[in-house]
Chains A and B, each alone.
Chain A
Amino acid sequence: MHWNSLSDFLAMGEHGLYVWGAFGMTALVMLLETWLTLRRQRAVRQRLARQLAAAMRENAQENAREKTGESGQGDAA
């Protein structure tokens, strides 16, 4: 360990701006990608589940309609 203090560490021997600018952006975009990817994955799952549930409800209604009211237009075999 060759840092005398925290400010010494942060200063990086006059190159603080460049070193932390590089490390900071790396951390930022990796965290951002992680957050966005996890959020997107969750959104895809929820959207597909919603669509599937809606399709299943529609199917069920159609089946019920076919069973109860044989009269009308929906007379297809």
Chain B
Amino acid sequence: MQFAHLYKFAAPAAFYPLAGRLIPWFWGLAALFGAIGLWLGLFVAPADFQQGQGYRIIFVHVGASWMSMFLYVVMAFWAAIGLAFNTRLSGMMASALAPTGALFAFISLWTGAFWGKPMWGAWWVWDARLTSELFLFFLYIGFIALTRAIDDPRRADRAGAVLALAGVINIPIIYFSVKWWNTLHQGASVSLTKSPSMAAVMLWGMLFCALAMWMYAIAISLIRARGIILERERHADWVKALLTEAAGGH
């Protein structure tokens, strides 16, 4: 019964105002978690016994890397739903997530380079973890390019969905690359220090920064989804009513 109720938000007309109401809350949570995470990461967490202060890059690097993989899975999930049930909103959600996923893949690569240079002596190595993350970035770019190259939005959605689903195989490859191959990239990032109490502070800082990025990703994707909905549903009565009401209000 409760779930049946949720279905109504699959309609763009119901989703649009809901997203509008939720966005400020996600911004607020992003700011709150970000403040806590940065405070823990920059002021509370001690220096690493091996890497000194340089390890603090972890507080942006890990969250961005997690989000780049997680957003891809969510994007592929919407793509699959769209292919299976032909729901309008699914393709819009996938399209709304892709740029933010690409952004986090970029941050992951950039901050990784800035971490690799002082610790390994190289901005970049063709290591399995780094290479598969770079491939993820290209998958996002490919998805965006493909869906924008096709004029008919429904066909663009389907083509994008096939690409997104094919690329999902890359996610476990990224995740397990440090186990499957002998990589320069370190394995578990949580055990950087020997002392468990210090690891706890670092872990919490990292988790809050990652949560902040998660909330940010939701807020920004919802804003983007609203733009896509307006554009695609512009001939619907509810959009016309919304647009004339907004114009009259000025």
Q: Residues of A with Cβ closer than 8 Å to B?
A: 1-3, 9, 12-15, 18-19, 21-23, 25-26, 29-30, 33-34, 37-38, 40-41, 44-45, 48-49, 51-53, 56
Contact = CB atoms under 8 A, between A and B. Distances in A.
B54 A33 contact: no
Contacts of A51: 234
A30 B231 CA distance: 24
B106 A18 contact: no
B99 A33 contact: yes
What 9 pairs between A and B have smallest CB-CB spacing? Answer: A15-B54, A13-B53, A22-B111, A22-B114, A12-B53, A49-B243, A41-B227, A22-B57, A26-B60
B223 A38 contact: yes
Interface in B93-149: 99-100, 103, 106-107, 110-111, 114-115, 117-118
Contacts, number: 98
A48 B239 contact: yes
A34 B231 CA distance: 19
A25 to B, nearest CB: 5
A33 B223 CA distance: 11
A44 B110 contact: no
9 contacts: A1-B43, A2-B47, A12-B56, A14-B53, A15-B56, A22-B60, A22-B61, A44-B227, A44-B231
Interface of B: 42-44, 46-47, 52-54, 56-57, 60-61, 64, 99-100, 103, 106-107, 110-111, 114-115, 117-118, 216, 220, 223-224, 226-227, 230-231, 234, 239-240, 243-244, 246-247
Contacts of B57: 18-19, 22-23
A36 to B, nearest CB: 9
B107 A13 contact: no
B43 A52 contact: no
B72 to A, nearest CB: 17
Q: Is the interface of A mostly helix, strand, loop or mixed?
A: helix
Contacts of A45: 227, 230, 243, 246
A45 B230 CA distance: 7
A56 B52 CA distance: 66
A25 B60 CA distance: 10
Given A14-B52, A49-B244, A21 B114 contact: yes
A53 B227 CA distance: 19
